Amino acid sequence: MIWNSLRLYFRYASISFRSQMEYRTSFFLRSIAQFTITGMEFLGLAALFLRFGHIDGWTLPQVGLFYGIVSVAFAIAEAIPRGFDVFPNLVKSGDFDRILIRPRSPALQILGQEFQLVRVGRFLQGMLVLLWSAGRLEIEWTSSAILLIAFSIVGGACLFSGLFILGAAICFWTIESIEIVNCLTYGGVETAQFPLSIYRPWFRSFFTFVVPLATINYFPVQAILNLEGTSGGKLISWISPLAGLLFLLACLQLWRVGVRHYTSTGS
Amino acid sequence: MLLQYRAAAVAGVVTQIFWGIVRTMIFDAFYRSSSGSQPLTHDQTLTYIWLGQAMLLLTMLNVDADVAAMIRNGSVAYEMTRPVDLYTLWFSRALSGRAAPLMMRSIPILVIAALFFGLSAPISMMAGTLFLLSAAMSLLTAAALIALMTVSLLWTISGEGISRLVPGVVFILSGIMVPLPLLPGWAQRLSEILPFRGLIDTPFRIYLGEFHGASAALALLFQFAWLVMLVVAGRLALTRGTRRLVVQGG
Amino acid sequence: MNQITVEELTKTFRVARRAPGLWGSVKGLVKREYQDVRALDRISFSIGGGELVGYIGPNGAGKSTTVKVLSGILVPDSGHVMALGKIPWRDRVHYVGRIGVVFGQRTQLWWDLPILESFDLLRDIYSVPEEKYRANRDALIEMLDLGSFLHVTVRQLSLGQRMRCEIAASLLHDPELLFLDEPTIGLDAVSKLVVREFITTLNRQRGVTVILTTHDMEDIEALCRRVMVIGDGKLLSDGTLSDLRASVTTERWLTVDLAEGVPFTAVLDGDARLIKSEGRRFCLAFDPKQVAAAELIARIARSCPVQDLFVENPPIEAIIARLYSQQKLQ
């Protein structure tokens, strides 16, 4: 059953891929533009470090780890569950019925609507930052550390995907408040680019317990950098990206409730 | 219709206040990490940031999607047969598309920022007045840039390339991401020969008093000069572009 | 054995009502006023396997709501529905795999994909075994004459071509039950005939149950032996077309063409009434029980020079309209 769904997803993805490749030059231009914009962002960051030296004790390469993980995770989330981001149009135009009439989970169908390859621009940029930072830092890159980074990226991608799904689910009840979720998504990216410790306590709590941004890069990176004061000890840091996955599952559940609501009230 | 605007504006205000808060905290952390003196004081930076959030729309330089589609599928040819000057049309479209939302967002953001987040008042009445003048020119400059980008689409591929790269460059060289005075020297010099700082940095520095008297007048002059150049460039490009379109048949 | 059973189906929608004008919109921001719309009011009917049923009614009468409930994408407030042995909305994902739906206005295909690829994608979505898929697909391509534009994207097709593809697409997975919503809307005359003939064949030869919702009375008269009329959420009529006609009125219509420029001067004396006139053509409605057609014709011919005439049943639209207004009066 899962295999069947995966196969269907890959079919969707390949169709999406091919149709994007048709406009090849446009694709390259947009990817390069993405790469440039995100690249500029990091350069701006670097300029600030040039001027201020460090931020609350964190150096540029250290911040680079945080930044890189979030960037790559977000790029993945922007590429894959893109359909959820544009979901409001679907509901407004009544085309969601067309999805319900098919014998597959609506979430899977929406997931398959679009696979935005263009996000590779941000993906590459994030990777580059990660690699650069990793090189500059004087730490031992054990396989478990690398695995933790990968795990954090996956957890982050799950978390951001969850936010997109959350935004789409809210559309079942009201068209308006999707902006708030956008706020959290894009704002969350900017927030997590820096270590969470620099923010005020209330802000930190929100992004640890409500939208578990802290778990996908702050705790893991602390573990990697072998720093003192990692709350809860090493183990927590290592499994914290799991919170991203749990968040995603919670959002998916809300989505299902939303679909049920839609079918009982019509459009 | 007005109410739809309102909903979008409210949402925009919330988002930008959020960003403003995040940025404030980031710069708070930076400033407490370094005891040396900086080109802008902590308070000045905070003011700069909040002014930036209020005027953020001026840095969102994207071509109107409808117009882009029209150019791409060739129906712009019909527009050209009408007794309307295309450049004026596109310019006013860009202008009106930004003026109203800008008003609706900037005022609440400025009020809230002044009350809660440390946005300080302009350094003097003179500075405040000149700021408004400069900000008005920023709006016009933004429209002129968009108009120029729209015209560049007549050259499809290369035009698209330009239109895609501009936002990234604007992002850093206008001062919206990092206040220009805080960027390294070479970046500042680069920004001086480009029009983008006229969008954000120039009015803000006037507000803060960094430019005053003669330097303010010079900065305003620069803004104006760039505005004129952009409009002229836009019109010239349009003439050549339409000629090209007619020759090639769209 | 009934394939579909519907008992006392009821569905009410809560619609936000906005007072007109600017002030109304402002008020609407503060307090939302709601209005309850009864889309379905205790509807009951049953449909046997292999039937071809027409489902007609004015806009907003509840046709699409019924179809949505029967397709499992809308949950009713009360009532009992059984289709293909299941409650449609309970087990939606499995149920919809056995039905086909064609929306006249909206496409089920992918705009930027060639038709054949859309079909392939549907095969994967419906998990149709490869051999069955190929057999179905090829048969449908032949029956609906799709061969010449299989590699064209939906975007580039004409409406007639697109409709034929939609119908084919809805049948690739061998559904036992097919919902057609306005399948001939906007089609040219030839395409309409092709589609109608296909539906007839589908129903007669392959035994697919078809429920046809449409405004096109020609479709109804050509295809459906059984017609259900819905108005204001209530089922107004359920039976054959002639039953429907008879239940509403026994009226017949007489149309006469007079000579050019001649006014209509026959005295009708209440035996008939003039419904409409266009130039030299005059249309009268009369009750054959009250006055025989022949007598009416003779009476008219005595006063006016009749050049041509014909007698017919009132068109179905008129019947429906009459039925509808009768129901409203109750």
Phi and psi torsions of B178, nearest 5°: -130, 130
Considering CB atoms only, which of A100, A102, A265 is closest to C125?
A102
Residue the block writes with tokens 């929406």: A110
Is A263's CB within 8 Å of C14's CB?
no
Domains observed in chain C: 2-246 (3.40.50.300), 250-313 (3.30.70)
Contact yes or no for A176 and B34 at CB 8 A: no
Full strand arrangement of the beta sheet holding C78-83: C33-48, C2-17, C78-83
**B219 pLDDT higher than 60:** yes
* Shortest Cα distance, chain B CAs vs residue C188, angstroms: 28
Q: For the full predicted model, state whether its pTM sits above 0.90.
A: no
Which tokens is C153 given? Answer: 């994207």
Identify residues of A whose CB sits under 8 angstroms from chain B CBs: 25-26, 29-30, 32-33, 36-37, 39-41, 43-44, 47-48, 50-57, 176, 179-180, 182-183, 186-187, 190-191, 194, 198-200, 203
**Least confident span in A138-142, A154-158, B235-239:** A138-142
- What pLDDT does residue A248 have? 93
Q: B32-54, pLDDT tens digit by residue?
A: 888 778 888 888 899 999 999 99
Contact between residue C147 and residue C141 where contact means Cβ atoms under 8 Å apart: yes
Question: What's residue A232's pLDDT?
Answer: 47
Nearest-Cα distance to chain C for A259, in Å, is 10
Distances (CA, A) of C202 to A172, C48, C195, C211, C222: 38, 16, 10, 12, 14
Identify which of C13, C65, C73 has the shortest CB distance to residue A101: C73
**B121-156 exposure pattern, b = at least 16 Cβ within 10 A, e = fewer:** ebbeeebeebbebbbebbbbbbbbbbbbbbbbbbbe
CA distance A205 to chain B (A): 14
Lowest mean pLDDT among A41-55, C28-42, C242-256: C28-42
pLDDT at residue A230 greater than cutoff 50: no
Interface test mutation site (partner C, options A259, A263, A265, max chain C beta carbons within 10 A):
A263
Mean pLDDT comparison of B78-82, B88-92, B240-244, C230-234, highest-scoring range:
B88-92
Q: How many CB atoms lie within 10 A of CB B199?
A: 27
With 90 as the cut, is the pLDDT of residue A67 above it? yes
Query: What is the rounded distance in angstroms from the CA atom of residue C330 to the CA atom of residue C75?
Result: 29
- Residues of chain C in contact with residue A103, where contact means CB-CB under 8 angstroms, are 93-97, 125-127
Two structure tokens written together for A173: 């009840």
Contact with chain C for residue A261, Cβ under 8 A = no
With CA atoms as reference, the chain C residue closest to A99 would be C108
Q: Which residue segment(s) compose the domain that B204 sits in?
A: 2-248
Three-class SS of C258-288:
ECCCCCCCCCCCCCEEEEEEECCEEEEEECC
Q: Which of C23, C25, C32 to mutate: most B Cβ within 10 Å?
A: C25
Residue C330 predicted with pLDDT over 70: no
Q: Whole-angstrom Cα distance, residue B128 to residue B209?
A: 9
Contact B30 A29 (CB under 8 A): no
pLDDT in tens, C167-198: 999 999 999 999 998 888 888 888 888 889 99
Q: Which chain B residues are closer than 8 Å to A206 by Cβ?
A: none
Question: What is the nearest CA distance from C65 to chain B, expressed in angstroms?
Answer: 29
How many domains does one find in chain B?
1
Strands C177-181 and C209-213: parallel
User: Nearest Cα to B150, choosing from B56, B40, B233, B53?
Assistant: B233
Per DSSP, the residues of C27-73 read HHHH--EEEEEEEEEEEEEEEETT-EEEEE--TTSSHHHHHHHHTTS
DSSP state of B56: G
CA atoms within 13 A on the CB side of C197: 9
Q: What confidence tens digit (pLDDT) does each residue in C3-61 have?
A: 888 988 888 888 776 666 666 556 655 666 778 888 888 999 999 989 999 998 877 77
For an interface test with B, the pick among A52, A67, A211 (most B C-beta atoms closer than 10 Å) comes out as: A52
Rounded to the nearest integer, the mean pLDDT of chain A is 85
- Quick one: how far is CA C56 from the chain centroid? 5
Lowest-confidence pick of B152-166, B169-183, C210-224? B152-166
Q: How far apart are CA B227 and CA B148, in angstroms?
A: 11
Query: What average pLDDT does the segment B156-163 reach?
Result: 72
B1 Cβ under 8 Å from any chain C Cβ? no
Least Cα separation, residue C26 to chain B (angstroms): 8
* pLDDT score of C87: 92
Closest by CA position to A37, among listed B169, B200, B16, B145: B169
pLDDT at B249: 54
Chain C residues whose C-beta sits inside 8 Å of any chain A C-beta: 13-14, 65, 68, 71-75, 89, 92-97, 101, 103, 106, 108, 110, 112-113, 117, 121, 124-127
Euclidean distance between CA atoms C13 and C69, whole angstroms: 13
Nearest beta carbon to residue A44 from set B11, B38, B177: B177
pLDDT tier, A56 (very low <50, low <70, confident <90, very high otherwise) = confident
Chains with 3 or more CB pairs under 8 A to chain A? B, C
User: What is the secondary structure of B2-46 as a DSSP string?
Assistant: HHHHHHHHHHHHHHHHHHHHHHHHHHHHHHHH--S--SS-HHHHH
Identify the pLDDT of residue A157.
93
Distances (CA, A) of A109 to B4, B230, C173: 30, 46, 18
Residue B250 — very low, low, confident or very high, per pLDDT cuts 50/70/90? very low
How far is it, in rounded angstroms, from Cα B242 to Cα B248? 10
* Residue A114 Cα to chain centre, angstroms: 16
Segment A215-229, tens digit of pLDDT: 888 888 888 887 644
**B3 in C contact zone (CB under 8 Å):** yes
Mutate to test the interface with A, among B15, B163, B173 (most CBs of A within 10 A): B15
Q: Which of C49, C3, C46, C52 is nearest to C202 (CA)?
A: C52
Between A142 and A125, the more confident residue is A125
The shortest C-alpha distance from B114 to chain C (Å) reads 28
pLDDT score of C260: 78
Q: How large is the angle between the packed helices A143-170 and A178-192, nearest 10 degrees?
A: 160
Out of A8, A95, A263, name the one closest to residue C125 (CB): A8
| Chain C touching partners, 3 or more CB pairs below 8 A | A, B
User: What count of other Cβ atoms lies within 10 Å of the Cβ of residue A253?
Assistant: 12
Is there a contact between C125 and A94 if contact means CB atoms under 8 Å apart? no
More confident residue, C81 or C24: C81
B95-113: pLDDT as tens digits: 988 888 888 888 889 999 8
Q: Do A187 and B22 touch (CB under 8 A)?
A: yes
DSSP letters spanning A46-67: HHHHHHH--BTTB-HHHHHHHH
* Cβ within 8 Å, pair A190-B19: yes
* CA nearest to B5 within chain A: A176
